[in-house]
Structure 1
Amino acid sequence: MDLYSVCDWYDAAALLTEDERLVLGRLRDFLETTAKPLVGEYWERGEFPDEIARPLIGLDLMEPAEATANRTRPARGIYHGFRIFELARTDASIATFYTAQAGLFRTAIRVGASEEQKKEWMPKVIDFTLKGVFSLTEPEHGSDIAGGLATTARRDGDAWVIDGAKRWIGGASTADVLAVFARDVADGQVKAFLVPRGAPGVTLTKIHRKTALRMMQNAHITLDGVRVTEADRLHNVNSFRDVAAMLRAMRSDVAWIATGIQAGAFEAALRYVTEREQFGRQLGGFQLVQEKLARMLGNLTSSLALVVRLTEQQEKGVYRDQDSALAKMQTSLLMRETVALAREVVGGNGITLDADVARFHADAEAVYSYEGTHEINALIVGRALTGQSAFTK
């Protein structure tokens, strides 16, 4: 059976080159043989296994030689999308862990850094010798972060002094630097800084008692009089408009994650109903089960078509808020139904980690909310449709 034949009904993967498929096949082998046997145990423990993190980084997936013509050109967007899809198809925390670096932090550098800064930092981002996280969300500000961002930055000679807090920052505990967004007290505009994780005044606290993305380590970060140099400020971030440009690019990554989660849940449910017997026959032979399988596949296929087309548009340089917002909104909505149907057809065993669907069902709730809630993304689309903003002031 081909790499994506079950969950890629219309063969979107045909858009990949042979070399890209080779790299993704290598990733799938690692995920199936090394990662997948570990995820249930570590999900329940609320820990991210080093046995996954280290070899995953070592696979050289961000800009692999095979997919970049021996590094003479960047990897294509469709390759990056299917890489996210493959990770999320196995586990949402693994996908979130990898895209924290390959998506969020890399985008912060790509969009926010000056050419000189990019020349210094980007190679280290790609090979993970400079690990970073995107630190925007705050304890009291998520959906309203554009106007509500409360972390402050004050210029003091050749340095900046940062005070405030960030929350839900995934991967912060293992990062080298935190890309912190703060409001300049002088002009009221948002700036961004690379803050060393171990800098004086930085305190990280692990967020416990989560019921989704349990393997992903999310942190509450307190910044108390933290000093960073002007050289560590991202020089192309001078207002929230620059931050919005990052979010515009990153929401497509989350839409790919939502699509991959559907693939993982669908495949787990399909495997279960073709093995499990009730009333003397396989569950997969019942009409009502087949109807639910068809709906799951329809949701997944629709989502995959949407993210592929969005990626093709972005590859041409077409980046619009409403496009990425629509993709994140719709794939997340379909994801929610798909994982619920997967849990439903697996029955009582669907709430255990053994059948896999429970992980996808729980993790989907986190993905549904991050990188813009359903409502926020709907208002972005609605503003584009009507020309009128319905956001509250």
Structure 2
Amino acid sequence: MFRGVDFYNVDELLSDEDRLVRSAVREFLEKEIVPLIVDAWHEEKPLNFHELGRKFGELGMLGAFIPEEYGCPGMSYTSFGIICQEVERVDSALRSFVAVTSGLVMYPIWQYGSEEQKKKWLPKLAKGEIIGCFGLTEPNHGSDPGSMETTARREGDEWVLNGTKTWITEADVADIAVVWARDVEDGKIKGFIVEKGMQGFQQYSLTKKGSMRAGGVGEIGLVNCRVPEENRLPEARGLRAPLSCLNQARYGISWGAIGAAMDCYETALNYTKERKQFGAPLASFQLVQEKLVKMLIEITKGQLLCWRLGRLMDEGRATTEQISLAKKNNVRVARFCARTARELLGANGISLDYSPIRHMANIESVYTYEGTDDIHTLILGRAITGLQAFRRE
């Protein structure tokens, strides 16, 4: 069983509920997921999230921070973060599923949906009875969603959607998709719940990936897709709505990335203590100890960022910029730790018998999605200078 990395006694800052959640999730993952993950990743045969989703739901891992009145766990954001940390410690695809379901599918329905939509969809998503995905990124527009080309045209009591969404987690297996499109009449971005089987709704899988191979990633096609007015998110008006959802996912990533970093560190530490060269354990050499110390320092700083950000989220005071800082920093930490652990394992570092090479590949996706490292730099730059550098007017 994974012991955890806690050099600054961060555990003392957590609530009893936080620790109970972590123990339950960790035990479940060790028993049921860890034995499956390497083959799923190696063979690029995504885990069965319809089956796993129900198990995640039983443990309260989906939509953890959404109130109980909608059939959800009603936990703190800190507990949600801990869940993300534990699942990404095993594999980034697991955290993607949890964070997308919670922050990109359930959150917009909770915040921008009607009461009827909340009561219809949130309990099912929380229990893992259905899978959702989030349709924002397009083939020509990733970092600039405001330029999206997907359109929505009102025709009586229906909306006709046309466009393509790509690099969408679980797009190929989703039962519903929260899709964002530009209203051709007023030019505003609107959100829609598109259901599997609706006329003109197409779902595809993207394969031959060098990253995130244990989870599904796909594409959504909307060809004169007819969606009833009752499936439009009534409170979503403009680009601010989908961007607020991204904040939720970025928060989950900030915790998850540290989980991946912790696993890389623990793997490297144990390996170098056991592996002997020149008649002594690798961990006894100065160069090796320096690498381990650097990993521990960066992980510890990332843990403290997560804890403080979790408290700000629970108080409703976290800003977009604070979330961007944590996402940017902690993914960089995970990237550094995965690379360093791979180095410390030598030739064994490229073997899937050890986790760092898998984390190393997965984190390349995490480094890019939900805002690239450069985009988060510009978000922070705007915050501290008061000047935006996204485009030249």
Q: What is the TM-score when the length of structure 1 is the normalising length?
A: 0.93
User: Is the 1:88–1:94 contact (alpha carbons within 8 Å) kept by the matching residues of 2?
Assistant: yes
Cα-to-partner distance string for 1:142-200 (whole Å, 9 max, x where unaligned): 00112x11110000000000000000111122221010100100011100101012222
RMSD: 2.2
Q: Which residue of 2 aligns with 1:111?
A: 111
- Written as runs of structure 1 = structure 2, the 5 A alignment for 1:209-288 is 209-288=208-287
Number of residues paired by the alignment? 387
1:176 is aligned to 175
In structure 2, what is the Cα distance between the partners aligned to 1:247 and 1:316?
19
Cα distance per residue 1:269-306 (max 9 Å; x no partner): 11211222222222111111111011111111111111
Partner SS, residue 355 of structure 1: coil
**1:82-103 per-position Cα deviation (integer Å, ceiling 9, x unaligned):** 1110111111111112222122
CA–CA distance in structure 2, aligned partners of residues 207 and 121 of structure 1: 26
Residues 54 and 245 of structure 1, relative CA distance in 2, 3 Å threshold = closer
Distance 2:342 2:255 in 1: 21
Output the amino acid matched with 1:99: A
Which amino acid counterpart does residue 219 of structure 1 have in structure 2? G
Residue 52 of structure 1 and its aligned partner are, at CA, apart by 4.7
Residue pairs, 1:328-339, within 5 angstroms? 328-339=327-338
Residue 100 of structure 2 corresponds to: 100
Corresponding letter in the other structure for 1:60: G
- Return closer, same or farther for 1:165/1:72 CA change in 2, 3 Å cut-off: closer
> How far, CA to CA, are the matches of 1:283 and 1:177 in structure 2?
51
Corresponding letter in the other structure for 2:332: L
Letter in 1 for 2:193: L
Q: Which runs of 5+ in 1 are unaligned?
A: none
2-structure distance, mates of 1:96, 1:222: 21
Asked if the contact 2:54/2:127 (under 8 Å) is kept, the reply is no
Q: Please report how far the alpha carbon of residue 314 of structure 1 lies from its aligned counterpart in structure 2 after TM superposition.
A: 1.5
Instruction: Note the residue ranges of structure 2 that are not aligned, 5 or more in a row.
Output: none
The residue identity in structure 2 corresponding to 1:157 is: G
Kindly indicate whether the alpha-carbon contact (under 8 Å) linking 1:189 and 1:239 is maintained by their aligned counterparts in 2: yes
C-alpha separation in 1, matches of 2:164 and 2:332: 30
Tell which deviates more after alignment, 174-183 or 152-161: 174-183
Q: Does the 8 A contact of 2:108 with 2:245 survive in 1?
A: yes
Shift of 1:328: 1.0
Q: Secondary structure at the match of 2:192?
A: strand
1:236 Cα offset (Å): 1.1
Structure 2 letter corresponding to 1:36: V
Q: Which residue of 2 aligns with 1:188?
A: 187
| Number of the residue aligned with 1:78 | 78
Q: How do 1:53-72 and structure 2 match up within 5 A?
A: 53-62=53-62
Once the 2 structures are TM-superposed, how far is the Cα of residue 257 of structure 1 from its aligned partner? Answer: 1.6
Instruction: Pick closer, same or farther for the CA change 1:55–1:314 going to 2, 3 Å.
Output: closer
| Preserved contact between residue 262 and residue 300 of structure 1 (Cα < 8 Å) | yes
Of the structure 1 ranges 99-108 and 88-97, higher mean CA displacement relative to structure 2 is found in 99-108
State the AA in 2 paired with 1:27. Answer: V
Alpha-carbon distance in 2 for matches of 1:72, 1:371: 24
Amino acid of the structure 2 residue aligned with 1:81? G
Q: Helix, strand or coil for the counterpart of 1:172? A: coil
Contact 1:272/1:355 (CA < 8 Å) preserved in 2? no
8 Å CA contact 1:93–1:213 kept in 2: the answer is: yes
CA pair 23-332 structure 1, distance change in 2 beyond 3 A: closer
TM-score normalised by the chain length of structure 2: 0.93
In the alignment, the residues of structure 1 paired with residue 331 and residue 21 of structure 2 have an alpha-carbon distance, to the nearest angstrom, of 27
Cα distance in 2, alignment partners of residues 15 and 198 from structure 1: 47
CA contact (8 A) 2:46 2:214 kept: yes
Distance 1:335 1:73, change over 3 A: closer
Return the match for 1:12 from 10, 13, 27: 10
- Conserved in 2, the CA contact under 8 Å of 1:255 and 1:307? yes
Give CA deviations for 1:52-100 in whole Å, capped at 9, x if unaligned: 5553344333378xx98xx898211111111110111111111112222
CA contact (8 A) 1:111 1:246 kept: no
- Residue 348 in structure 1 maps to residue 347 in structure 2: yes
**2:53–2:128 Cα contact (<8 Å) kept:** no
Which residue in the other structure is 1:318 paired with?
317
Q: Is the 8 A contact 1:35 1:52 kept in 2?
A: no
SS of equivalent residue, structure 1 residue 10: coil
CA drift of 1:116 comes to: 4.1
Greater shift, 88-97 or 227-236, is seen at: 88-97
Does structure 2 retain, via aligned residues, the 8 Å contact 1:108–1:134? no
Distance 1:138 1:29 in 2: 38
1:153-168 matches, cutoff 5 A = 153-168=152-167
